[in-house]
Amino acid sequence: MVDGSIWLSVFLLCAAAFMGFMAVTHNTPSWWFSVGLLSLFAFIAWRRETVTFDIPSQQVKWVRRRAFNLAGGTVPFREMRGITLESMTDNHGALNFRLTIPTTDKPIPMSDGYGGGQAHYESLRKQILEFLKMDKTASPDPDDGASIRALLQQGRKVDAVEFVRSNYQLDLAEAVDRVNEISEKMKAAQ
């Protein structure tokens, strides 16, 4: 999977080149400031994220390229806890989404950018889970129970509910019930 804004950088560079051409042909030195500004924005906007699900080596490889930064890593499939849909509200109150790979350590976003279209991201999520043969609609994985308990011990009940909700396609009430059930079992065991 590839996500990025290289197209935006190319557009801005083309606009800067056109303005540079116009500045030279019309002898308008004041346009050079706009050329520099557009070039700077093109450089800052350049980003590309690549996530590869490598079946033969049983790991996910991810690379994030930015103007001033390069990051990457690998996660073995055995440490993955599925693919989740993460949401964020923008300044206008609209929901935007991205896919995240929850792991035994910490979640890894598949993109830095969020986008609209929940149905698109849900469809993509299901395709990835089918490809990896990780359909999570069934009963919880024992390791997931440990993850939920760890979140509850840290006082992160909302994160535990979101974890259950996104990994098992449950509505909010069902996810809260399941987390409360685990919480009650933890209290009874003490």
In the predicted structure, residue 28 carries a pLDDT above the cut 80: yes
Q: What percentage of the chain carries pLDDT values higher than 90? A: 16
Q: Report whether 97 contacts 85 (CB < 8 A).
A: yes
Neighbouring residues of 171: CB distance < 8 A, sequence distance ≥ 6: 165
Higher pLDDT among residues 166 and 178, named by residue: 178
CA nearest to 113, candidates 102, 128, 99, 126: 99
Reported pTM: 0.57
Q: Retrieve residue 162's tokens.
A: 């979101």
Q: Using pLDDT thresholds of 50, 70 and 90, give the confidence band for residue 14.
A: very high
In the predicted structure, residue 169 carries a pLDDT above the cut 70: no
Q: What percentage of the chain carries pLDDT values higher than 70? A: 94
Q: Report whether 128 contacts 147 (CB < 8 A).
A: no
Q: Retrieve residue 63's tokens.
A: 């690379």
Indicate the average pLDDT of the chain. Answer: 84
CA distance 178 to 181: 5
